[in-house]
């Protein structure tokens, strides 16, 4: 509020930085490039997690989401910089369907499908909560929308994973749940030394504190569980 430069902007109601930047550029600086309209639209959807359904972000049929997976997963910084340059010269679709992007996407997709099937086998659902334990499977990360894809009736998900540096509890809420969220997930996670937001949170333990993590999972699941399915 104290800034009067006309070059610093804030709107806490916005779902994504991308849309806000595009709107400010247009309204305040008279800049609008229709050539990047699709890019802005998809960046807004991804940044704000404004997916139309769990299937959209789990099945990854949209080419923009395939490109997103590559950007998130590929450790090659030079390649990511190359993608940025190409997005300034080509359409989002052209970049996403390029031979190199698709080559890098294929193993990511294969791993994703394996994770999907693993969670399908491991997950259980009861009283509004889906839970699964991937500690013994060497799986540290997973698409956070998979639980809602497999169990669309759930309101919450609670997962336990372990990586090199930590044992982790991931707690989430289903944006498409038929019954609304009634808990502040950040407040729950904070009691175990974690944190997050009202709709999603996490707790980290030392890598060898598996049983401590499992005990916390049981308590969190019980707290989130509803009176009936």
Angle between helices 63-73 and 77-87 (to 10 degrees): 150
The DSSP string of the chain is ----SS-----TT-S-HHHHHHHHHHHHH----GGGHHHHHHHHHHHTT--S-HHHHHH--SHHHHHHHHHHH---HHHHHHHHHHHTTS-HHHHHTSHHHHHHHHHHHHHHHHHHHHHHHH-EEETTEEEEE-GGGT-----TTHHHHH-TT-SEEEEEEE-SS-EEEEEEE-TT-SS---S-HHHHHHTTT-EE-SSEEEEEE-TT-HHHHHHHHHHHHHHH--S--
Q: Is 6 domain-assigned? A: no
Over residues 150-200, the pLDDT tens digits come to 999 999 999 999 999 999 999 999 999 999 999 999 999 999 999 999 999
Q: Whole-number mean pLDDT of the chain?
A: 94
Highest mean predicted confidence (pLDDT) among 30-44, 134-148, 207-221: 207-221
Q: Is 11 domain-assigned? A: no
- 154 and 74 within one domain: no
- Both tokens of residue 11? 């709107």
- 127 and 96 within one domain: no
Global model pTM greater than 0.85: yes
Going by their DSSP bridges, the two strands 195-196 and 167-173 should be labelled as: unpaired
Q: Is 5 domain-assigned? A: no
- 79 and 34 within one domain: yes
- 78 and 53 within one domain: yes
């Amino acid at each position: 509020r104290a800034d009067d430069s006309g070059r610093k902007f804030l709107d806490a109601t916005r779902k994504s930085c991308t849309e806000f930047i595009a709107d400010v550029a247009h309204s305040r600086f008279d800049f609008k490039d229709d050539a990047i309209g699709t890019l802005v639209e998809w960046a807004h959807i991804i940044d704000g997690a404004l997916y139309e359904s769990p299937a959209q972000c789990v099945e990854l049929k949209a080419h923009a989401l395939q490109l997103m997976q590559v950007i998130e997963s590929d450790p090659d910084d030079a390649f990511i910089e190359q993608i940025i340059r190409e997005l300034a010269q080509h359409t989002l679709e052209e970049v996403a369907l390029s031979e190199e992007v698709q080559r890098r996407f294929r193993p990511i997709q294969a791993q994703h499908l394996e994770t999907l099937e693993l969670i399908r086998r491991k997950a259980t659902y009861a009283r509004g909560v889906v839970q699964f334990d991937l500690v013994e499977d060497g799986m540290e990360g997973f698409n956070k929308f998979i639980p809602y894809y497999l169990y669309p009736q759930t309101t919450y998900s609670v997962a336990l994973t372990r990586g090199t540096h930590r044992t982790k509890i991931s707690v989430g809420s289903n944006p498409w749940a038929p019954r609304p969220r009634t808990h502040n997930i950040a407040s729950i996670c904070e009691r175990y030394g974690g944190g997050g937001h009202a709709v999603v949170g996490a707790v980290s333990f030392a890598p060898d504190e598996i049983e401590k993590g499992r005990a916390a999972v049981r308590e969190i699941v019980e707290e989130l569980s509803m009176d009936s399915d």
